[in-house]
Amino acid sequence: MNKPIDIPAEINVLAPENRADEIAGEISRRQFLAAAGVGAAALAVPGLASAARRAAALESKLLIGNYLNYAAPSDYTTFTKLFGPKVTVSTYSSSQEMVAKLRAGGSAYDIVVGGGSEVIILRSLGLIQKLDHSKLPNLKYLRPDMHKTPYDPGNVYSVPKSVGMLSFWYRPAVVKERPKTLMDMFKLLPKYKSARVNFLDGAKETLDMALCTLGRNLNSTKPQDIADAKKLLIAAKPYVDTIGGNAIELGSRGQIDICLGFNGDAKVVNRALQKHGDRVIFFLPQGTTEYFIDNWIVPNAAKDPDAAHKWIDWMCTPTVAAREMNFIGYLSPITGIEKYVTKDLANDPTINIPAKDLARYQTSHPSPKFLQLANQVYDAFKAA
């Protein structure tokens, strides 16, 4: 009874890859139970006991703020099974809505998902906390360039989650041409009057896209650029049927013919449509467009910061990152995922964007002035 039980530091198990985490979690829990079961003996393996205590110290819940369909629901339940905290998800439809929710207080998100521009804004408002890297050992799996993102070098406040880009996707059954640039698509809108056209939600994203269409600097606040962007949008308004419609849901039912949206969403829509012999084409614009890095961010108001760190760390595990990528359709910035990612994603240039295209694309770093202008343009666009 008093004889310390020899618990190996590492156990090798032959198991299917997709169940690896679950099994790993199961084993570590058994190790913990074995250690706890022998009472005093547990003290003989201090390293493990403290690990177990640390695991037990996680809070009992985790509130994640995210865009709709931007994480695999099965991972929420798996996380609870593995580590304990019960995951609740609350969604928002635009980055600005998330920032506004954090500013208004009230919603105590433990984690939010936001782009580089949100990291900048939330940081300047003092609403997010520095990450404790000692709780994020799996950061080592992050792609090297993701350690020095322009908005947060060294991942002080943010850990990249997904990389995506903005362009149009359309149903070739309706649109006969093959547009090459964003402007091509804008020019086609009047031709397809009865096509169902959806634009994404959010003032910032809309102005970003309009500026890119015109080939201007994405973060421009020059009056001429803004006026031209506004003109472009308002001229297109009569052909736009919905703004901020749920692209994945409507698209998957074949209810969107032309959509201004994101590459990953188009991928998910395609998977649904292919079952009915339909499809959409998302194109990499030959001109410029916006690409973005979305991040896990921990707000100051987080009530469960340890669980939040655990989640972020877990998300950086290659198997989990790959599973997420397979579900949401967006490129994961984690290394070592290649063998777990489905071929249709890994080989798709619209998801795994070639470096030569990426070099042409821009990221958003909005100044306060830009946001103010974006809101004015968006209000005018919606009112037109």
Partner 1 sequence: MIQRIYPRALGGAAGLSVLALGVLLYVGIGRLGLTLAPSLLLVLCTVPLYLAASIAFGAARRRGRRIGDYPLSLALPSATYFGAFFVVPTVFLAVFAVASTTGYGVIHYGFSLDAFRTALGSVYREAFFRTLRMAAVGTVLTALVGYPLAYWIARYAPARRKGLLVALILLPFLTSFLARTLAMLLILSDSFVAWHVLKTLHLIGDPPHLADTTTAVQIGLVYNYLPLFILPVFAALERMDWSLVNAAQDLGASGFTAFREITLRLTAPGLLAGVLLVFIPMMGEYVIPFILGGGRVDMAGNLITRSFLEVSNYPVGSAAALLMMGALAVFLAVYIVLSVRSEEQYGA
Question: From the CB of residue 77, how many other CB atoms can be counted at a distance below 10 Å?
Answer: 12
What 349-354 contacts at long range (C-beta under 8 Å, 24+ apart), as own/partner pairs, is 349/284, 350/165, 350/167, 350/263, 350/266, 350/267, 350/282, 350/283, 350/284, 351/263, 351/264, 351/267, 353/163, 353/165, 353/263, 353/284, 353/291
Decide whether 141 or 199 has the Cβ nearer to partner 1: 199
Of the candidates 157, 139, 156, the one whose C-alpha atom is nearest the C-alpha of residue 333 is 139
Measured from the CB atom, is 148 or 369 closer to partner 1?
369
* Closest distance to partner 1 from the beta carbon of 152 (Å): 16
> Smallest distance, Å, CB 99 to partner 1?
7
Chain residues binding partner 1 by CB under 8 A are 94, 96-97, 99-101, 103-106, 121, 124-125, 201-203, 237, 240-245, 253, 255, 368, 371, 375-376, 379-380, 382-383
Residue identified by tokens 């921990």 is 298
Q: Return the number of the residue (355 or 383) whose C-beta is nearest partner 1.
A: 383
* Closest distance of CB 337 from partner 1, Å: 34
In the bound state with partner 1, the residue whose beta carbon lies nearer, of 121 and 316, is: 121
CB of 125 to partner 1, least distance (A): 6
Phi, psi of 172 (to 5 degrees): -65, -20
Q: How far is the CB of 127 from partner 1 (least distance, A)?
A: 9
User: Of 254, 260, 278, 285, which Cα lies nearest the Cα of 350?
Assistant: 285
Residue 95 or 350 having the CB closest to partner 1: 95
- Indicate the residue among 238 and 349 with the shorter CB distance to partner 1: 238
Angle formed at CA 224 by CA 223 and CA 230, multiple of 5 degrees: 90
Of the pair 117, 350, the CB lying nearest partner 1 is at 117
Closest distance to partner 1 from the beta carbon of 131 (Å): 21
**Nearest residue (CB) to partner 1, 244 versus 336:** 244
Residue 108's CB: how many other CB atoms inside 10 A? Answer: 14
β-pair type (158-170, 281-282) = antiparallel
Please say whether the beta carbons of 94 and 142 come within 8 A. Answer: no
Which residues sit opposite 294 in a β-bridge? 162
Q: Output the smallest distance, CB 369 to partner 1, in A.
A: 10
The three-state secondary structure class of 165 is strand
Give me the helix-helix angle, 318-328 and 305-315, nearest 10°.
80
How many Å apart are CA 112 and CA 159, to the nearest integer? 11
Q: Distance between CA 321 and CA 159 in Å, rounded?
A: 13
Q: Is there a contact between 114 and 294 (Cβ–Cβ < 8 Å)?
A: yes
> The tokens of 206 are what?
């809309």
Whether 157 and 183 have beta carbons less than 8 Å apart is answered as no
- Looking at beta carbons only, is 139 or 243 nearer to partner 1? 243
